[in-house]
Chain A
Amino acid sequence: MAAPELHRLTLDNGLRVVLAPDRTAPVVGVSVHYDVGFRSEPEGRTGFAHLFEHLMFQGSESLEKLAHFRHIQGSGGTFNGSTHPDYTDYFEVLPSAALERALFLEADRMRAPKLTRENLANQIDVVKEEIRLNVLNRPYGGFPWILLPPVLYSTFPNAHNGYGDFTDLEQASLDDCAAFFDTYYAPANAVLTVAGDFELDRARELIDKHFGDVPARPRPHRPSFAEPRPTTELRDTHTDPHAPLPALAVGYRMPDPVNELDGYLAHLVLAGVLADGDGSRLQQRLVHREPLVTDINAGAGLFGPFEARDPDTFSVTAIHAPDVTADRVLGALDEELDALASTPPGEQELAKVTARWSANLHSEHDRLVSRTLALGAFELLYGDAALAYDVADRIAAVNPEQVAEAAKGLRPDSRAVLVVKPQEGDAQ
């Protein structure tokens, strides 16, 4: 296939723009990525970045509360937003007739969101319900993305709960919101992406019309979140009131996703060799041959790869029977890592992983919402939207020695182990 068409530009106010026309279906995707995620929220305000994401849907100068949703859905579109460690995205997919409307809506809240006390109080309630739904009232809630970081990391940005503690959420003030917006939601700190059915010149014109006069503000300083790797094995136990079976999460540090991309990709391939499919090493051994676990997964990034800057986490998670100890599972994992470190995987073993990655990336790009978000995230994190398309080839170029090298780096004396125990008595 020919490389998909891609254009980039920067407005005078610093807003970076990615344009990816594709006329095969009459729908268009629009996203804005802001370069701030939950790693940037201050101590005492855990969950603030996500809470603020909710507030950005609550109205702006030209749009009363609820109008944003009504205009997008009333144009036939869908929308959402999500908060990640290092960025927050807002997006909509619509029939292409609604392109200008989507640009207008995103520009209006970038220029002048309506932050009110009433909406803040209402969205604190909504976020608390979201946390009850996704964490507190279900088995393995927050496993491992909330539970593992405080074991592996020691600094607040990397270790804290990005959903937030209820007490912190309740402390959030309107002035916090104003400060957060003014600091982080500057056009120069954002990437606008438009993908799908549009005419290039017309889109440029509309973007200039709606975003051109968003006043420039300085791009905030982006701090490093680097911290030393653990020098010993760190362990913790969490009691889950709903879980029927014990579980285990193992977290390792991995190469810088941006500045050591090839090493990072070797870890991605390693995760596939370890746990993707019935033929993978840990599935074969731990699920089927021995069998010690009910399910096992390995992956880069606690929300998936290409979602965060350094430091990022390589994790292995398993749910296992009560009579199997965590140390047995860890012992088997270490043996498999040692085996890969001393004898690199075969060509076919890698071909399996890279073909699946290639297929998965094609499928992801076929969904317009995922394609739009991938282009925006790669532009934001890597300064290179085209990498969204090129990364399949970069993964295919990973060689067996690089995978062995990655396995060698996942040491027992530099990792975090989180054990999830079901609460004594009946699981409710």
Chain B
Amino acid sequence: MTSATHRSAEEIGRTATGPRELPPLGEQRAAADLAHTDTVLGNGLRVLAVRKPNVPMVELRMAIPFAGDDPAHPATAEVLAETIATGTRRRDRVAIDTELALIGGDLGTAVDPEHLSVSASSLASGLPTLLDVLADVLTEASYVDNEVRRESDRIVERLAVARTQPRVIAREALQRHRYGDHPYTREVPKPEDVAQVTPEAVRALHASAVLPRGSVLVLVGDLDPDAVIGDLERALSAWASEKAARELPALPVLRGGELLLVPRAGAVQSQLRLSAQSLPRTDPRYPALQLANLAFGGYFSSRLVENIREDKGYTYSAHSGFEFTGQNATVQVEADTANEVTAAALLETRYELGRLGLVPPTDADVESVRQYAIGSLLIGASSQAGLASQLLGLAAVGLGVEWLNGHPGRVAAVTTEEVAQAALDFFAPSRFTGVVVGDAETLAPQLTALGGVTVESTGS
């Protein structure tokens, strides 16, 4: 290609001294104990504050339970999330951005069927300003008419983009197929509902649903975890209500069943999405199930990835992971594949699901996923933002720093037999349901021949 006198591939791949021994692992140091506070403010807000002064920054995360069963709720909630930080009695949109920018800050909000979430950060020296802006937004958001109208228009435009994304289409199809009409399925509002949202409706939703009781706030960074509680208590004193924020109703237990083929005409690639009931992190069998999932498809060296990507080249992305929703948990198996190999990829995926229980991971396999599980926790917790996100996920289901500190020990104690049992109990192909999204004309003949797949009728 360039050097005229290069060696051959074979010559490149060997040396005079031959292959070498892989060095052993050294002694692992544990993570330092982090000074932290875990308390509930007078207004009912749970606060987790952790000192982690690697860099002069603070990371803030908040989750407010935000469920609603009104059909208009997802649209109103979406507009609320997009406009809550666009103006208060004291600050307009530009003033909020200016104050945040001057402290190197950002504040973002997002909503899903479970939570209204806030994610913010700033230079540590700017924390008082960050808390002042946050309190202002939580208690005095004004939802002026033109901001609500303009943001509603932008949401409608963004929804049009989102609904063309294969992963969004696949997610909607999976949610519908798994949970029918449950509020949990309403992740992406309908554009026509968004267009109907009024400023009054957003203000009413804010007043009735943006509530501290039952919500959690996580602060991680270059801060004093004791002193910051007093700062928060003062900053958020006006944010108060006797009512508690609204939790999502429990999800039904997911049962296995036929996959649904959802047509997307002309698509060059298909989405495979399989799902089954799983265990929450508080279940004593969770650590074993976590390791079984990693061995199946939870990391690159898993059976699924080694089979359908590294051996067969069917996919660039294959993955299996948990979805935690309140006290409920499911496992999701995902792969995007070219049309001509979609049915073959499904066949191999089912084969690997069955094999996990019947020919379970060996001692060496379990040791590998055990190290991976422990290492991922250490790596995630090593940055302020990573630790803040880990803790928010735990705090939202009532757990905290103790769970995080105790988890490496629980994972270390799991036996190969426990992993095998979890694989057999939770990964049997018959426990799974799901969807395939893609070009039905190409896919239907092969998938129906394979069996266990229903073709969605193309009406409306």
Q: Is B23 an interface residue (CB 8 A)?
A: yes
Residues of chain A lying within 8 A (CB to CB) of residue B372 = 73-74, 76-77
Q: How far is the CA of A278 from the CA of B372 in the complex (A)?
A: 41
Q: Judge whether B28 and A244 touch: CB under 8 Å.
A: no
Q: Indicate if the CB atoms of B386 and A367 lie closer than 8 Å.
A: yes
In the complex formed, the residue of A with least CB distance to B53 is: A24
CB of B123 within 8 A of CB of A179, answer no
B315 nearest CB across to chain A (Å): 6
The smallest beta-carbon distance between B288 and chain A, in angstroms, is: 18
Is there contact, CB below 8 Å, between A359 and B12?
no
Q: Are A133 and B157 CB-contacts (below 8 A) given A178-B9, A179-B2?
A: no
Is A393 an interface residue when CB atoms closer than 8 A count as contact?
A: no
A287 to B153, CA, bound (A): 11
Q: Mark B70-101, 1 if CB is under 8 A from A, else 0.
A: 00000000000000001000000110111011
| B266 surroundings in chain A (CB, below 8 A) | 241, 428
A376 to B54, CA, bound (A): 20
Nearest CB in chain A: distance from B143 CB, A: 15
- Interface flag for B254 (CB, 8 Å): no
Nearest residue (CB) in B for A365 is B55
Taking the complex as formed, is B268 at the interface, i.e. its CB lies under 8 A from any CB of chain A?
A: yes
Contacts of B2 in A (CB 8 A): 42, 179-180, 183-184, 220
Cα-based distance from A130 to B314 in the complex (angstroms): 10
**How far apart are the CA atoms of A294 and B152 in the complex, in Å?**
11
Q: Report the number of A-B residue pairs with Cβ-Cβ less than 8 Å.
A: 291
* Residues from chain B with Cβ under 8 Å of A25 in the complex: 31-32, 54, 378, 381-382
- The answer to whether A93 touches B101 (Cβ under 8 A) is no
* B190 within 8 A of partner (CB): no
Q: Chain B residues with Cβ under 8 A from A216's Cβ? A: none
Categorize the interface residue count of chain A. 35 or more
On chain A, the residues within 8 Å of B299 by CB distance are: 73
Compute how far the CA of A276 lies from the CA of B98 in the bound complex, rounded to whole angstroms.
Answer: 11
Q: Counting CB contacts under 8 A, is B208 at the interface?
A: no
If A112-B15, A138-B165, A244-B160 are given as contacts, then 8 extra A-B residue pairs at C-beta distance below 8 Å, sorted by A number, are: A75-B25, A94-B375, A98-B26, A177-B9, A182-B3, A355-B102, A359-B57, A363-B121
Determine the distance from Cα of A182 to Cα of B11 in the docked complex, in whole angstroms.
Answer: 11
Chain B, Cβ-Cβ closest to A100: B23
Residue pair B336, A133 in contact (C-beta under 8 Å): yes
Instruction: Specify the chain A residue showing the minimal Cβ separation from B385.
Output: A363
Chain B residue, CB-CB nearest to A58: B310
Q: Would B15 and A95 count as touching, CB distance under 8 A?
A: no
* Contact, CB under 8 Å: A115 / B310: no
Mask: chain B, 353-389; 1 = CB below 8 Å from A; 0 = not: 0000000000000011001111110110111111000
Judge if A381 is at the interface, Cβ distance under 8 Å: no
Q: Using an 8 Å CB-CB cutoff, how does the interface string of B376-407 with A read, 1 for contact, 0 for none?
A: 10110111111000000000000000000000
A265 at the interface (CB under 8 A from B): no
Q: Decide if B122 is an interface residue (CB 8 Å cutoff).
A: yes
22 contacts between A and B (CB under 8 A): A1-B55, A1-B56, A24-B382, A62-B19, A62-B22, A74-B301, A77-B375, A95-B28, A98-B26, A100-B23, A112-B15, A115-B9, A122-B313, A132-B316, A138-B164, A139-B164, A178-B6, A183-B2, A278-B86, A288-B93, A319-B157, A321-B157
Interface residues of A in 359-378 (CB under 8 A from B): 359-360, 362-363, 365-368
CA distance A79 to B269 in the complex (A): 26
Contact status A182-B383, CB under 8 Å: no
Cβ distance B434 to chain A, nearest Cβ, rounded Å: 19
With A69-B301, A139-B164 given, is the CB distance from A104 to B101 under 8 Å? Answer: no
